[in-house]
A = this chain, B = another copy of it.
């Protein structure tokens, strides 16, 4: 099977994991900060906060904004994206406002209103979605390395650019966002000293990444340029083979538009080539949203 997902298991991955095991540090540990620092340096941001997966990165990032702007309730999202992005809005008790996506995989310009907490584009397929808004929270789960304007989220799931198995990260230059994200992903904990450790200032999640996952991530970061170059080379090759001219800053997958999609998917599977739908149109195809009473807008 030619898989959509591959994991980079270099020598450093094995050495780092051995260190976790030898030191008996598989929960918290030194690799978390190391991985965060490498990602912050690579992206060129002040703060990188490791979390347990990309969905949790979205959940925590939205919880940060909700905490700062409790009266703003709406989050503008693309109609075509992975459902975890929308679920992160709903889990925070916020309302998703769907905006259509063009044939360039980019969310169209949204209408900002007083209730808008933030605009949350998805940098689908590693392509930056250039969009305006009050606060831009970029779901870059498919676009590792893109520097966000205000705040961004990455996923390290096996099908993404680099993988830690399960894992995610929030990146931002904003000190307040970063401080709140660190608190919220740690149950809302007040502090780590012995008297504060079981006091909590806000509602939080367990969004922590384990030291083992971070040990993998930190090791893989040493090869990140090579990994992204390989992905870019594959896009060039696919463009040659298909005659298309797809371009992406940090390639995730290669998109092909076709009328007989399901037929093609089954044929590829039969030939042991993994492929998938991009996503579904969430407001129309996912019945769960129809029943939740949101204004879903006019989509096909």
Contacts and interface: CB of A to CB of B under 8 A. Distances in A.
A262 interface: yes
A88 to B, nearest CB: 9
A126 interface: no
A236 interface: no
Contacts of A278: 198
A9 B206 CA distance: 24
B87 A27 contact: no
A53 B208 contact: yes
A55, A84, A206 pick with most chain B CB within 10 angstroms: A206
Nearest to A83: B200
A76 to B, nearest CB: 19
A244 interface: no
A292 to B, nearest CB: 8
A211 B265 contact: no
Contact of A265 (B22, B195, B216): B195
A25 B158 CA distance: 9
Counted per complex, copies of this chain come to: 2
A21 interface: yes
A163 interface: yes
B286 A199 contact: yes
A68 interface: no
Given A188-B288, A276-B194, A163 B266 contact: no
B213 A210 contact: yes
A14, A27, A262, A287 pick with most chain B CB within 10 angstroms: A27
Given A55-B206, A56-B206, A198-B280, 17 more contacts: A7-B24, A7-B27, A14-B21, A26-B165, A26-B216, A27-B157, A27-B163, A27-B166, A53-B206, A54-B206, A55-B205, A83-B198, A87-B203, A166-B208, A197-B277, A198-B277, A203-B288
